[in-house]
Chains A and B, each alone.
Chain A
């Protein structure tokens, strides 16, 4: 499965909503209930799924203005073996 699709699935699982519409431009403000707690839950679920670790600065950076799911995928590509195209 392509990396973005795996990320979408992990996020849908955290929200417990298999039909949640997501793409790389989706950001926290586009999704009801995506607050700081949910953000950490998503990060923890991604860490577990991909067996990687995000530094606290990275976790925080991903919540800044202009960041979206594409930013998460970009960060993950650098961490997952074979993640970079």
Chain B
């Protein structure tokens, strides 16, 4: 029995809340989803103790998110007022929460949430493919989170080398472990530093930052920081959650267009973007979580006369 089939059996027996998402996405996305998810389950959740910890974490994460969304609708579509420091104490620097709920929850959501999987397809097909054809395949991943996106590049592009940044030691530990589990750790350098206060960061031809903006008080300032890390002529991939209340989402994007506009405002040229809803709106839930994923470039410096 494959790891994927085993996990489906475990979910159907013990995690009723997940079984619908699992079977729906397996049917909707087919062999590619099965191959990618199966690989991650083997490498990252290879023993059943880890698997149960992650499935329980995902359940807590998903139920918590849906409860917050219900509150969000009740409050007229507004996030709870919170600053970065408070979110950091509650989430990023809380080891138990990060390792047992938050990071496993996000990791599994890449395959169990329709909009997250659509974003992954967009990322791989439209952006990683460009890195694979580049002469210089070095990149910055700013806000590595689980490490999932860095791994997606490194495993597909043998010449790639990542410099991953995060302020959470637990995110960096999770990324380091995940890179090791995929046998990619030798091409992944990690730094626990703020890109806005670190001097002399070398520019790279590629920069990614996936679902980080909504965690910040000043996402425009952060985007300008990303712009400075990108070589002229380079490409960036930036994604953000829209109308998606979470315990650590403090900047509220009300539309996908707001994200796109802010990326332009930071100086980028927007090449293409994807907008994806988590599910269809209903009478009870007229505003649904979605995301905007943007591929943007930094125009080469004008050449002299």
| Residues of chain A at the chain B interface (Cβ within 8 Å) | 14, 16, 35-37, 39-41, 44, 56, 59-65, 67
Write the chain B residue with the least CB distance to A44.
B70
A sample of 6 more A-B contacts (CB under 8 A), given A40-B63, A59-B17, is: A37-B66, A41-B284, A44-B70, A59-B63, A61-B16, A63-B16
Q: Does B85 contact A (CB under 8 A)?
A: no
CB A43 to nearest CB in B, in angstroms, measures 9
Interface residues of B in 66-106 (CB under 8 A from A): 66-67, 70
Q: Does B279 contact A (CB under 8 A)?
A: yes
A35 to B22, CA, bound (A): 12
| Residues of chain B at the chain A interface (Cβ within 8 Å) | 12-21, 24, 59-60, 62-64, 66-67, 70, 279, 283-285
Q: Are B284 and A14 in contact (CB under 8 A)?
A: yes
Q: Are B67 and A44 in contact (CB under 8 A)?
A: yes
Number of A-B contacts (CB under 8 A): 46
Q: Is the interface of A mostly helix, strand, loop or mixed?
A: helix
A62 partner residues in chain B, CB cutoff 8 A: 16
Q: Which of B13, B15, B24, B64 contacts A60 (CB 8 A)?
A: B15
Q: Are A40 and B66 in contact (CB under 8 A)?
A: yes
Write the chain A residue with the least CB distance to B59.
A60
Q: Are A56 and B59 in contact (CB under 8 A)?
A: yes
Write the chain A residue with the least CB distance to B282.
A16
Say whether, besides A14-B284, A37-B279, A41-B284, A60 and B16 are in contact (CB < 8 Å).
yes
Q: Are B21 and A36 in contact (CB under 8 A)?
A: yes
Q: Are A67 and B16 in contact (CB under 8 A)?
A: yes
CB B280 to nearest CB in A, in angstroms, measures 10
B18 partner residues in chain A, CB cutoff 8 A: 36
B285 partner residues in chain A, CB cutoff 8 A: 41
A67 partner residues in chain B, CB cutoff 8 A: 16
A65 partner residues in chain B, CB cutoff 8 A: 12-13, 16
A62 to B59, CA, bound (A): 13
